[in-house]
Amino acid sequence: MRRIHVSLASLAAIILGIALTGGMATTASAKQLKKAPKITSKAPFTARGSVGDAYVKDAKAGQRLLLVNAKNRIVRSGKADRFGSKVFYDVKPGATFTVRTPTAKGSRGTKKFKVLKPGVNPGQSWYDEKPDLKAGLNYVTMRDGTELAVTVRLPYGRTSLSQGPFPTYIEYSGYQTAAPHDALLGLVAGLPDSSLPEPLGDLLDTITGSLPGSPVPDPDLTPASSTAVGSLIGPLLDFATVSVQMRGSGCSGGAFDLFGWPTTYDGYDIIETVATQDWVQGGKVSMGGISFSGITQLFT
């Protein structure tokens, strides 16, 4: 374990867990749950368990979807959104389900899956066996199969992770944090030459001249100024920084749910994944940031 728990966050998690348990008990104790149609063929979409949730991908927009428990009873129902996705929230952790869509002769169904339990984490080998992170944009798979966009930034003046180990800093945000272009180049590109005093202009030319990438970054691929601690300040202070795009935002997969269990455990998975990297000094990482990036530290 490489994390220090914040007591306030722990208390909030306990309260949220009690609330979720109450909601799940209501679902599980319903007197009448309809019998689900028998599976007669394989579903063309996929379904999987997340932490306290279940989700569907690759369905047709508007397609009716049934969440069915191990007793062949319909626990929830809903329709796929315009992206062909559906999240069933607050589902009983540890229980087994399938997702089905009705047909004239029965239903098309997915394989059985289990909803993940809060507090039950993958073994260390799961993190050790993940592909090594590289400098630049990566996609990292979370415990529920969702992929998050993660950009690794070298300390300024360094050209390879092999020059480490480095003190390492993680910024976890729903703002534009994993955009892979260089924040300093983006800042300089937006300034007219005449606006800088000559000594500062010369210094910036020296720094940016050693940086990889385009001299004129794409604004849509440049980190937001609100994530400058990780994308700009950290590298200037000789930190390797890891900019993590929260699920459901930017180029990360999944559904956005700020204080939901999946988002919380994404933070856990990211910290453990980064801490296994050879270029991380001492196998320990720090977190920080302002605004959104500060809030995420409370539940990670």
In whole angstroms, what is the distance from residue 59 CA to residue 82 CA?
9
Decide: 149 and 180 in contact? Cβ < 8 Å: no
Q: Which helix (H) or strand (E) holds 185?
A: helix 183-189
Note the pLDDT tens digit of each residue in 151-169: 999 998 899 999 989 999 9
Name the average pLDDT for the chain. 84
In whole angstroms, what is the distance from residue 131 CA to residue 128 CA?
8
Same domain (yes/no): 170, 281? yes
Chain-centre distance for alpha carbon 227: 16
How confident is the model at residue 5, as a pLDDT?
43
Phi, psi at 280, each rounded to 5°: -90, 120
How confident is the model at residue 200, as a pLDDT?
55
Q: How far apart are the first and last CA of the chain?
A: 13
Q: CATH number of the domain that 69 lies in?
A: 2.60.40.10
| Residue 288 structural domain | 124-179+223-299
Same domain (yes/no): 156, 64? no
For strands 74-79 and 64-69, give the pairing. Answer: antiparallel
Q: Which helix (H) or strand (E) holds 23?
A: helix 7-28
For residue 91, the 8-state DSSP code is P
11 occurs within a structural domain: no
Confidence of residue 217 (pLDDT cuts 50, 70, 90): low
Write down which residue in 91, 114, 137 finishes a domain: 114
Residue 237, pLDDT > 50, answer: yes
In whole angstroms, what is the distance from residue 147 CA to residue 20 CA?
25
Residue 162 corresponds to which amino acid? S
Confidence of residue 12 (pLDDT cuts 50, 70, 90): very low
How confident is the model at residue 189, as a pLDDT?
55
Decide: 41 and 108 in contact? Cβ < 8 Å: yes
Residue 69: CB partners within 8 Å, gap ≥ 6?
Answer: 33, 75, 95, 96, 97
Residue 72: CB partners within 8 Å, gap ≥ 6?
Answer: 35, 36
Decide: 174 and 81 in contact? Cβ < 8 Å: no
Q: Which residue matches tokens 């940016």?
A: 208
Decide: 246 and 263 in contact? Cβ < 8 Å: yes
Same domain (yes/no): 246, 175? yes
2 occurs within a structural domain: no
Note the pLDDT tens digit of each residue in 64-103: 999 999 999 999 999 999 999 999 999 999 999 999 999 9
Same domain (yes/no): 140, 266? yes
How confident is the model at residue 121, as a pLDDT?
97
Same domain (yes/no): 110, 253? no
Q: What is the pTM of this model?
A: 0.78
Least confident interval from 52-56, 157-161, 227-231, 284-288? 227-231
Same domain (yes/no): 155, 228? yes
Same domain (yes/no): 46, 106? yes
In whole angstroms, what is the distance from residue 160 CA to residue 39 CA?
52
Same domain (yes/no): 173, 108? no
Same domain (yes/no): 99, 133? no
Number of domains in the chain: 2
* SS3 state at 122: coil
12 occurs within a structural domain: no
Same domain (yes/no): 86, 143? no
Same domain (yes/no): 247, 172? yes
Same domain (yes/no): 240, 105? no
Write down which residue in 66, 89, 114 finishes a domain: 114
In whole angstroms, what is the distance from residue 112 CA to residue 283 CA?
37
How confident is the model at residue 202, as a pLDDT?
58
Q: Express as a percent the part of the chain with pLDDT over 70.
A: 77
Confidence of residue 289 (pLDDT cuts 50, 70, 90): confident
Mean pLDDT of 179-196: 60
